[in-house]
Amino acid sequence: MTFGFGLGSGLRALTAARLGMQTAGNNVANANTAGYSRQRVDLASALPFGISGNYQIGTGVDVRGITRLVDEGLERRLQLQMGLVGAAEVDQSRYAELESILGEPDGGLSNQLQGLFGAVDKLRTDPADRSLRGGVVQAGSALSQGFRLISQRFSQLGGSTFDEVRGLVRVVNQAAKSIADLNGQIISAEATGADANDLRDTRAQQIKELGKVLDVRGIERASGSVDLLVGGHLLVAGNRPSSIAVAKDASGTTKVTVGKSTTPVNVREGRIAALLQQESDAVPGLTSRVDELARNTILEWNRLHTTGMPASGPFRTLTGAYGVVDGDGDGERGDELLSQSGFQFDVQQGDLYVSVTNAGTGAMERTRVRIDPRSMSLRDVASALNAVDHLTASVDPTGRLRIDADVGYGFDFSPRLDPNPDGAGTFGGTQPSIGSSSAGPYDLSGQTFPVSFTVQTGSATAPTTTTVTLAANDFANPAAATADELVAAINADLGSAGTARSVGGRLVVQSAQGTATSQLTLANVGAGTALSALGLSTATAAGRNTAVAVSVEGTYTGAGNEQYVFVPESDGNVGQTQDLRVRVLDHAGNLVTTVNLGRGYEPGSLVDIGSGIKVSFGPGSLSATNGNVFELDALADSDTSDVLVATGMNVFFLGSSAADIAVNPDLLANPDRLAAAIGTADGDAGNLVRLTALRSRDLGSLDTNTIEDFYTDIVGDIGFEASAANAALGAQQQLLAQLQADRDSISGVNIDEEMVDMLSFQQSYDAAARFISVAQQMTDTLINLGR
Amino acid sequence: MSMRITQNMLYSQALRDVQGGLGRYSRLQQEVASGKRINRPSDDPAGALRILPLRSDLENLDQLSNNVALARENLDTGAASLEDASALMQRVRELTTQASNGTLTSIDRRAIGAEVEQLLGQLVGIGNSRRGDRYLFGGTETGDAPFEIVTDGGGTRVVYRGNRESLEIEVAPGVTTKLDVPGDQIFMHRQRGATTFTAATGSVATGAQPLGFGDTGVGFGELEVTFVGLHSDAPSTVTAGTGPNNAVGPLTYAFTSSPDTLSVGGGPAVGLPATNGAFTTADGRTITLTVTGVPATTSGTFTARAGLSVDGGATITEVSDFTNPTQVTNSFDGTVLNVDVQNLTRTGAEHVKFGGTFDAFTTLVTLRDLLQNRDGLPDDTVRDRIAQMLTEVDTAHDAVLDGVRELGFRSSSMDVLDSRVQGLRVSRAESLSLVQDADLAESILDLQRQDIFYQAALQISARVMQTSLQGFLR
């Protein structure tokens, strides 16, 4: 037994109780501190004191330390979860923004698309109404604006990514610095062996906050410091912070780098990851779909508009909206191939049909211009157009195609039917003609070149004889001499006596003189057999005082471009001769139908030949012997090459994407340039019918969707994404709440619990104090014994 | 071991509850306020996918419904104009009946003719009816008057300047209707029948099946047959003289020598040589010939060429081959008449009637000309022709009535289409409402329930947060 009666253990108990009380107080004080982990005083009985070697006596309580109650695994999961929530928040707000940009289902582009097609439907009810025409142009303008607004706001959204990431990078760098500082403090605090609980809590909280922004991996060192890694690069090493940086690469994509490294880090979690993903994937994907929609709307609409007929009638002059670029870099524009001319829309291999109309008589002449973008330049197109009678075409210095018509003439590209297809009068016309019995090419391989035949024109009393000589080099392949080659060769010799033509692919020779007295006779020279090889009759053809008037009505309803060729089967008078049949052949020479113009046919009445075409024939005589023939172009698409769209000849929309779509200012200034018609009648709504049909046409370039359906799909997809993002955010927040609850359950402060602890420590303290007082009394008693 | 609960957990749970409640509260509030269940695509993406096409459909149907109304208005206006035309034709019939009365003098008829002239102007006016800026009966040529009265050497004609196309508008999904009937189908409707000649010259109309087809002339016409000389098959000593000629076609001749005579067509022999000698045929026709030389006794046939004209001699079609039919063209209007000349023997004027070709305008023009007797026809011919005109008036009237019926039928079919379009509209609108609109009763009930939940959450939270051990340790 020692002197003192255990005063020491009493003191220890007092200290322990006081520390316990202080810890409980600190816990209560930090009950609401984010990231605070409750602390607990670790008590243990002090080393016992051995007496006489037989028994030991306790010496009270020892405070081993004050520890944090933390589940490190849970902390890491929490950090990860915060990253997921951060990313989900970004996603959710982005999609909400995208939704609000589209403004559907009660506003936005769907209204404007409906508005445009609706305006067309309205104009269809009165194509001559100027205000309704203006309505279509305005509706087009509204649609363009809608597209541009969406495009602009999408690109702003994409552009804002960089700013947002930069803001977040600042947060990360701030946190890295502060974590490095904390590391330093913790290292020095714990060097003495103590636990720097509160510093650790603060650091853990900051690392978790960082996890919300990007994925960091923490590695705890023995010194107590935590190193942070971002994508394999050190962001914090002990007490030394590094930093991350943000920049745009060459393609304008936002990239994040760590420290001095220049290789972009692959950020997988957190807000930054979500922002980068949006920038590289979601927004551009959407932008490109909206662009695709705009592009195809422009293309299809313009295809129809450029081949329509404006209310003002055929054009007198027209200049393209787009010039060519100097594709071959020689300083000159217009001499490079169409495929290298830098057009927004590609020129295809195809045909352009241009019609020239005499403003006085209304007579029209149609010419086919073959377009091959791989062998022709814009100048070649211009010179081909220039070769058309009454047209002047050129490429201006800015590289734009310009076409002018002679005074008194107009031109257009509409697919309307030529009302008077036999312009040359090779079908019962007044000037005698002799046509081939078959379509070219002709086999002249059996001829000994040069081969000649004579053409006798004039009248029986005053004949003129011209000799035509064909040379071998007139033909690319004499075994397959084309009608065009023959026309060129014959016209070179024929002079003013007559003209050779290619009608429906058949060679026709026609005298320059008309009336009943004029005659035309062909005869071989020497032993030549050229005429029979060419299928030309040697019988004399007589002219006529009155021509058979051929006129066409209706609208061609066939799917593709067609050329009908009309040839009589026999000779006779329209409406008189028994069984005067005329064959109607298609471009391939197949029989379409046969019409009987003989007795029983009233001259001038319409005959339906199918595909919406009706033809009438006036009185007069026809001759199969002389190879009477005329051709009728029936066009579904008068520009299969898209050259009008590419060069912007009276286009409705300018631009090629959602960003630059706009209504052609020419149309805004003058709505009469709106091509509502196909023909020239005021009430013609032919092109409007085609434009209406576009509304319900499934376009291959839009994944076999109509324009409106494609847009609906975009809206639907954003809706699904946005709704998924909402759901994902909810789920992630739920998970985070669960994890936080778990963490609170372990590390959180329960005030009731602390109250109980406080009571218990208070009582311990009271008891220990009491014990000391008793021990003191006992000591006093002992001291007083000795008095 | 049960989970340890801390105050913070209670607080954040309470906060989440209150927040969640408030969120649903605000969504329901938006639903009730806007009346719509889907305010942005993410509210119900599948629903939003249906909304856009439905709305597009609905707008389309609205346009169709407007179109139906417009079509009806147009068709009714057209029908009303044609009813006026029908009343006018009725008046024409009365006048025709009156004029064919044998007691009327040419002066009386002239007075009636003046009224017919007026009616003609009115009918052309009806044909040029407009609705707004658009001519109703010109096909798609809506900017210019479709009918025009032309008077030239060929008389008075009404020409059609329109086309035969029609403005078609959509009046129900996939159904289009023509807004009008091109005027030439109503006012210039023809049902061509047999062309008849009065057989004064021996020429007849061609074409057996069906009769008269191939001819494009209209109304009454006159075929003038004149002598234009001898064909080259005549003996070289014989040339046409100057004097009366009414014989055309193949003629037989017989020369005799000592005495030198010539007999033509079996007629009496005339002594030769003869200058402008009149030769008479056995059937009483006359031909003036100059015969210079005297050939040996010989006989044969030669042809006297005929000149045919249907435009009063403005253009003459010469006939020398009498075996084939000949086509004669009127240079004023381009119409043709096919003439069978096999039995054409003498000159003269054939009155031609183009059967069934009296459209409303030619009827009036012909009637007027007859009443005013512009061609100077004998009285009984005029009366006879006026009587004939009665059937033509009726035919032309029928064509107008057909137009009225056609437009009326189309207009009444608009009623059916209208109810169909309205039906579609209602059903589309219902579908749209079903997809997009909030069920207000349900939403309001939900809103109230949410209100209760929200209140409860607030109360419970307040209660829970107040409770603490502290309160009891006094």
Contact A597, A622 (CB under 8 A): yes
> Which stretch, A257-271, B76-90, B299-313, has highest mean pLDDT?
B76-90
With a cut of 90, say whether residue A135 has pLDDT above it: yes
Chain A's closest residue to B145, CA to CA, is A682
**Which of A104, A143, A617 to probe by mutation at the B interface, max B CB count within 10 Å?**
A104
Q: What is the pLDDT of residue B208?
A: 43
Chain A's closest residue to B340, CA to CA, is A576
CB within 8 Å: B163 and A126:
no
A36 vs B contacts (CB less than 8 Å) = none
Q: What is the pLDDT of residue B2?
A: 65
Confidence of residue A382 (pLDDT cuts 50, 70, 90): very high
Inter-CA distances, A452 with A456, A469, A524, A528, A529, Å: 13, 4, 7, 7, 9
Nearest to B213 among A602, A744, A748 (CB): A602
Strand partners, A480: none
Q: What is the pLDDT of residue B157?
A: 84
Nearest to A681 among B12, B59, B163 (CB): B163
Question: Pick from A548, A283, A508, A97: which is nearest to B334 by CA?
Answer: A548
Q: Which of A354-368, A388-402, B149-163 has the lowest mean pLDDT?
A: B149-163
Q: What is the pLDDT of residue B331?
A: 82
Question: Pick from A754, A300, A125, A631: which is nearest to B134 by CA?
Answer: A125
Q: What is the pLDDT of residue A56?
A: 80
Contact A706, A714 (CB under 8 A): no
Q: What is the pLDDT of residue B284?
A: 86
More confident residue, B93 or B375: B93
Q: What is the pLDDT of residue A373?
A: 92
**Which of A121, A546, A717 to probe by mutation at the B interface, max B CB count within 10 Å?**
A121
pTM over 0.80: yes
Q: What is the pLDDT of residue B345?
A: 87
Could you tell me how far CA A322 lies from the centroid of its own chain?
20
pLDDT, one tens digit per residue, over A496-534 is: 889 999 998 899 999 998 888 899 999 998 877 889 889
Q: How many CB pairs under 8 A join A and B?
A: 215
Chain A's closest residue to B468, CA to CA, is A752
Distance from CA of A418 to the nearest CA of B (A): 14
With a cut of 80, say whether residue A12 has pLDDT above it: yes
Q: What is the pLDDT of residue A5?
A: 64
Average pLDDT over residues A683-691: 91
Question: Pick from B287, B308, B307: which is nearest to B238 by CA?
Answer: B287
Which two structure tokens, joined as six digits, stand for A244?
Answer: 């991350």
B213 vs A contacts (CB less than 8 Å) = 575, 599-602
H or E element, residue B228: strand B220-230
With a cut of 70, say whether residue A84 has pLDDT above it: yes
Chain A's closest residue to B336, CA to CA, is A619
Share of chain A above pLDDT 90, in %: 53
**Which of B3, B5, B8 to probe by mutation at the A interface, max A CB count within 10 Å?**
B8
Q: What is the pLDDT of residue A2?
A: 53
Nearest to B4 among A709, A721, A745 (CB): A745
CB within 8 Å: B327 and A740:
no
C-alpha–C-alpha distance, residues B69 and B64, integer Å: 9
With a cut of 70, say whether residue A57 has pLDDT above it: yes
Distance from CA of B119 to the nearest CA of A (A): 29
Q: What is the pLDDT of residue A711?
A: 94
Average pLDDT over residues B95-112: 87
C-alpha–C-alpha distance, residues A435 and A441, integer Å: 14
Contact B370, B351 (CB under 8 A): no
Confidence of residue B384 (pLDDT cuts 50, 70, 90): confident
Q: How many CA atoms lie within 13 A of B218 on its CB side?
A: 25
Q: What is the pLDDT of residue B341?
A: 85
B207 vs A contacts (CB less than 8 Å) = 599-600
With a cut of 80, say whether residue B210 has pLDDT above it: no
CB within 8 Å: B13 and A96:
no
pLDDT, one tens digit per residue, over B150-206 is: 887 767 888 888 888 888 888 888 888 888 888 888 888 777 777 888 777 777 776
CB within 8 Å: A716 and B59:
no
CB within 8 Å: B213 and A114:
no
Nearest to B468 among A683, A718, A751 (CB): A751
Confidence of residue A1 (pLDDT cuts 50, 70, 90): very low
**Which of A114, A580, A711, A757 to probe by mutation at the B interface, max B CB count within 10 Å?**
A114
Q: Average per-residue pLDDT in chain B?
A: 85
Nearest to A716 among B49, B55, B134 (CB): B49
A718 vs B contacts (CB less than 8 Å) = 41-42
Contact B166, B177 (CB under 8 A): no
CB within 8 Å: B192 and A105:
no
B473 vs A contacts (CB less than 8 Å) = 755, 759
Distance from CA of A750 to the nearest CA of B (A): 4
| Residue whose structure tokens are 């298609």 | A586
Average pLDDT over residues A735-748: 90
Question: Pick from A465, A426, A443: which is nearest to A534 by CA?
Answer: A443
> Which stretch, A22-36, A171-185, A749-763, has highest mean pLDDT?
A171-185
DSSP 3-state of A568: strand
Question: Pick from A615, A609, A613: which is nearest to A634 by CA?
Answer: A613
With a cut of 50, say whether residue B94 has pLDDT above it: yes
Distance from CA of B25 to the nearest CA of A (A): 16
Average pLDDT over residues A564-577: 90
C-alpha–C-alpha distance, residues B471 and A533, integer Å: 122
φ and ψ at residue B353, rounded to 5 degrees:
-120, 120
A597 vs B contacts (CB less than 8 Å) = none
Torsion of CA A527, A533, A536, A537, to 10 degrees: 60
Distance from CA of B273 to the nearest CA of A (A): 33
A97 vs B contacts (CB less than 8 Å) = none
Confidence of residue A48 (pLDDT cuts 50, 70, 90): confident
Q: Which of A456-465, B39-48, B290-299 has the lowest mean pLDDT?
A: B290-299
Distance from CA of A168 to the nearest CA of B (A): 26
Question: Pick from A401, A399, A408, A397: which is nearest to A386 by CA?
Answer: A401
